Structure 1
């Protein structure tokens, strides 16, 4: 059995801690299953990435923060990230602050910590928790099922359209704390919502974060998700995002992978219903000796389902990235249309980026296409800008930001867009 990744954990103590907090027995049963599977299942197999060399297994203990009555009471850099009036802040292993406007509550919108939701709204949570991403997929998902804490639950009732973004900030500042939030979003029929997720850290010792986001888009609903990861160099971030989209539903992903440490991310849209639609835009910047493996997937099951995936990666110094785009069109998904583009820009001779577009098609009456490019900054573009009186360093900066702009411009609020640009500048050595 593969037990090395969980050797530092006391299973009985972890389970007893959650039972002491009166966690529902069905949730504790999922945790017990996760512990068992973590001893049996292998790590995920990633294209050209040997994550067994990442020395995984540093998770920490469940550490609850003090509850705060106001955003002004929160410490650290929270104010730099939070803009929404409807916000949830997790610090280490638990929720520190949450706020949802009265108007949304009156419409039946629920936005709260997932641990609170499993107690208060089991009829809404139980059918979906660990169903889009299952505990038995691999050792990472099993460990998450055993250890998740805090997290966010967002439910939007039928026909309710939420105009303002709802935001969750996940923050790690205690290197001894377990940090493993789980996000669950359920958008009922013909509803719409925008959810913004940020993850940041302020620790100087090694830490591992195994995260999961599950999104369920019912018939005719529309969900926009913006996820910006800015965890520090000492944190290894492994995250699964997965949406199940019913007929005529739409999922919009905007993902900024700005972590400083090693990272794996798998963002997938399962287009189950006829006319289901997915749009995914991903950017990442790699620096130092960082290793990243990023996969964006669309699985077409429904007829006339559509997907579009755009990934832009910038690599500098000795960083490496494996960028995978996978479009899968199942038998019977006639009329489906899946498109994808992966582009990697390398700013150093030692940097490496691999773009791997993959089309898996089991149906004849479909459209599918892909484009991929890997290269360095075009010297002709540099020459053109310098000929207009722009210094070389500034010319390179303008080209890089022009390269990333198609994704940054999609971020749904001004402050988050500014923070994403600041993270990119820092990783590019320009701040």
Structure 2
């Protein structure tokens, strides 16, 4: 039996909206075809998770007349802006860009850092060549809806041989449950370039449920190196569905640093496609679940290139009645000789009703490779708690120390001090609820 898919917008309405925004014909056509696919495709199939039971009904409304006042940003966002006031920064509120700063010396080197809608108008050929090339519209209903309805987002292009020492940062703020929230991040690192990109997804004062259906695509040319750090701390009214993917060419590298700190139901896939010889991927993921959250996080590396290497580490802390499915998938294709894929997933449960599941998966189609995995799910060790309490530490502080020790192998490896402090603060906030 099939059920009819109710789309959040009609086809003619989407075409008219695209035209009012002044979008080029190729983008209008792309959106229209994706909307048609959304009516035909099923929801994605997630490991041990029935997302058809999640609230995926409200994607918000698209509006061609958007506007916001940067002076009205909430205090939490203002604080982040102040922390990064010397940095290259883009801030969006409900998909409307309210603040942009790019150092003149970077602009003079050809670096492009702007919202994606502006990039479509000013750098159309570059965007058209890569948009939806990694997260494809025809994969499932969510990817199709994203391709049809994306709004806001970031375009970052680093020219050949340009090395950027300072991070480029974005903040995506959602405080209107009636506004569509589907930013698309597109990063293109040309040959032998280097960059660190950091973004934050924040919601405040939502007066209704909404779905964040987002995507990030990272194109890494030969010899380029990209650090991609992202922290999601959307409120319980927001259901977070995110695809992050990178394609890495010869001797290129991607380093993912991910903080999954949402308060609502959340699912994400972080995938590195190691296309080139000598390509590499390193993924570090921290997740904290509380209340009655349902979480499903997948980290994946697919090896095509010879002597390619992937490393993924996920640490999840689950409390109260939250449930989490943590998946690690390493796929080594035929011909990817000398590839090395390693992964570790660990889940720490803090209450009898919390439930966690770690699923390490190795799919090997080549003989001359190295691969390994480790996974564990367990409760806080009472002997560790008793030992700390015997030294005069309260039970609450002892448990907190054990949790921080559990997360430390990931947090201490994060190369950005500001991001380390932010993640520590968010962990403390979630564990202190």
Same structural fold, with TM-score higher than 0.5 when normalized by the shorter chain:
yes
Q: Which of 232, 236, 240 is matched with 1:237 structurally?
A: 240
With over 3 angstroms needed to count, the CA separation of the structure-2 counterparts of 1:55 and 1:134, relative to structure 1, is: same
SS in 2 for 1:115: helix
Alignment of 1:117-266 (within 5 A): 117-202=119-204, 203-266=206-269
SS in 2 for 1:273: coil
Q: Deviations over 1:164-222 (max 9, x none)?
A: 00001111011110010000000000000000011011213110011000001110000
State the match for 1:27 in structure 2: 27
SS in 2 for 1:146: helix
Question: Residue 11 of structure 1: CA displacement?
Answer: 3.2
CA contact (8 A) 2:14 2:32 kept: no
Unaligned runs of 5+ in 1: none
The number of residues matched between the two structures is: 427
SS in 2 for 1:204: coil
Alpha-carbon separation, structure 1, partners of 2:120 and 2:4: 29
Question: Residue 73 of structure 1: CA displacement?
Answer: 6.3
Q: Report which stretch shifted further, 74-83 or 154-163.
A: 74-83
Alpha-carbon separation, structure 1, partners of 2:432 and 2:171: 25
Q: Deviations over 1:339-367 (max 9, x none)?
A: 00000000000000000000000000000
Question: Residue 76 of structure 1: CA displacement?
Answer: 4.1
State the match for 1:61 in structure 2: 61
Question: Residue 386 of structure 1: CA displacement?
Answer: 1.4
Q: Scaled by the length of structure 2, what TM-score is found?
A: 0.96
Alpha-carbon separation, structure 2, partners of 1:411 and 1:61: 37
Question: Residue 148 of structure 1: CA displacement?
Answer: 0.3
State the match for 1:96 in structure 2: 98
Question: Residue 123 of structure 1: CA displacement?
Answer: 1.9
Alpha-carbon separation, structure 2, partners of 1:357 and 1:272: 22
Question: Residue 412 of structure 1: CA displacement?
Answer: 4.8
Alpha-carbon separation, structure 2, partners of 1:56 and 1:72: 32
Alpha-carbon separation, structure 1, partners of 2:327 and 2:77: 33
State the match for 2:46 in structure 1: 46
State the match for 1:86 in structure 2: 88
Alpha-carbon separation, structure 1, partners of 2:392 and 2:35: 61
State the match for 1:4 in structure 2: 5
Q: Deviations over 1:225-278 (max 9, x none)?
A: 111000000100000000000000010000000010001100000000000000
CA contact (8 A) 1:2 1:41 kept: no
State the match for 1:77 in structure 2: 76
Q: Report which stretch shifted further, 8-17 or 295-304.
A: 8-17
- 2:37 corresponds to 1:37: yes
Alpha-carbon separation, structure 1, partners of 2:90 and 2:415: 17
State the match for 1:283 in structure 2: 286
Alpha-carbon separation, structure 2, partners of 1:172 and 1:347: 30
Alignment of 1:363-382 (within 5 A): 363-382=366-385
CA contact (8 A) 2:319 2:350 kept: yes
Alpha-carbon separation, structure 1, partners of 2:179 and 2:418: 28
- 2:308 corresponds to 1:305: yes
Q: Deviations over 1:262-317 (max 9, x none)?
A: 01100000000000000000010000110011000000000000000000000001
SS in 1 for 2:129: coil
Alpha-carbon separation, structure 2, partners of 1:183 and 1:407: 24
SS in 2 for 1:200: strand
Alpha-carbon separation, structure 1, partners of 2:169 and 2:415: 11
SS in 1 for 2:40: coil
Question: Residue 5 of structure 1: CA displacement?
Answer: 4.4
